[in-house]
């Protein structure tokens, strides 16, 4: 089977920085058409402005918590590239939680930010993928990849909301994989350990001990670079993974092998 994604069209959310940006750039370098989507229009323009005139790179700015914005994102992708074959739900937010604070609404906030846009966009993109394959009797139809976290598998009091939303994303992956399998659409999730995302980089800047704590709880004793996730995403998007669906692939440097996990994942 081929790892090639050349000629395919991908939507990558969270594409303005960090992991989403790295995945989108890797896909584009591999010959895919890529629509980078994010709320941060300024950062999108800074990172992709010069590339956006290329034949295989575009970007879209908007709040994906809004249903109309999701519809507009798909429309913009189809206007630019005529089809969509890959969706990477990479937009994520991490916030701290006080589990005993009755006024803390962070669980609702992160479900609205991390889960619902992924669900709605997956539903809309899946319908398009099904329509595109109406004349095909077999072969791959599409791939949806969700980015979640080992926080969904391990508990940390300060990350209650993030853990709940990550676990929900993993179950979303499994449920959609079963629902979309008859349409030959595969759905998988990448559960991340500590990756040098924009938010983690900002946190480490003000707390040197935090980095040491993370490394001490990771058998490979380091934090992953965003680019390290890109090839895994390409594998799941390619025909090489044609018989893989409903899986949560953990990439954490061995972190979940240790129990308990004393430091937050991000």
Which residues, at least 6 apart from 132, have a Cβ–Cβ distance to it below 8 Å?
83, 84, 141, 142
Helix (H, G, I), strand (E, B) or coil at 231: helix
| Catalytically annotated residue among 59, 162, 210, 235 | 162
Helices (H), the chain: 18-29, 41-48, 67-81, 106-110, 116-132, 160-180, 198-205, 208-216, 227-237
162 a catalytic residue: yes
Residue whose C-alpha is closest to residue 142's, from 73, 86, 182: 86
- Residue 92 near residue 64, CB atoms below 8 Å: no
Lookup: tokens for 230: 């890109």
Rounded CA separation 250/255 (Å)? 10
Catalytic site positions: 162
């Amino acid at each position: 089977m081929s790892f090639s994604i050349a000629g395919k069209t991908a939507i990558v959310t969270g594409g303005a920085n960090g992991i989403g940006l790295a995945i989108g750039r890797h896909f584009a370098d591999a010959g895919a058409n890529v629509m980078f989507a994010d709320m941060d229009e300024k950062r999108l323009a800074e990172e992709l402005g010069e590339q956006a005139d290329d034949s295989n790179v575009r970007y879209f700015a908007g709040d994906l918590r809004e249903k109309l914005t999701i519809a507009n994102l798909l429309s913009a992708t189809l206007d630019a590239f005529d089809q969509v074959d890959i969706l990477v739900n990479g937009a994520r937010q991490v916030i701290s939680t006080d589990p005993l604070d009755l006024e803390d609404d962070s669980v609702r906030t992160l479900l609205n930010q991390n889960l619902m846009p992924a669900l709605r966009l997956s539903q809309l993109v899946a319908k398009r993928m099904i329509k595109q394959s109406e004349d095909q009797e077999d072969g791959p139809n599409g791939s949806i990849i969700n980015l979640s976290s080992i926080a969904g598998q391990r508990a940390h009091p300060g990350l209650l909301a993030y853990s709940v939303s990550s676990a929900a994303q993993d179950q979303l992956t499994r449920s959609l994989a079963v629902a979309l399998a008859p349409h030959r659409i595969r759905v998988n999730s990448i559960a991340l350990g500590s990756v040098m995302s924009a938010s983690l980089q900002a946190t480490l800047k003000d707390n040197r001990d935090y980095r040491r704590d993370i490394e001490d709880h990771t058998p490979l004793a380091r934090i992953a670079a965003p680019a390290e996730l890109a090839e895994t995403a390409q594998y799941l998007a390619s025909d090489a993974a044609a018989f893989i669906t409903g899986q949560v692939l953990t990439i954490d440097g061995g972190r979940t092998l240790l129990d308990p996990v004393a430091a937050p994942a991000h």
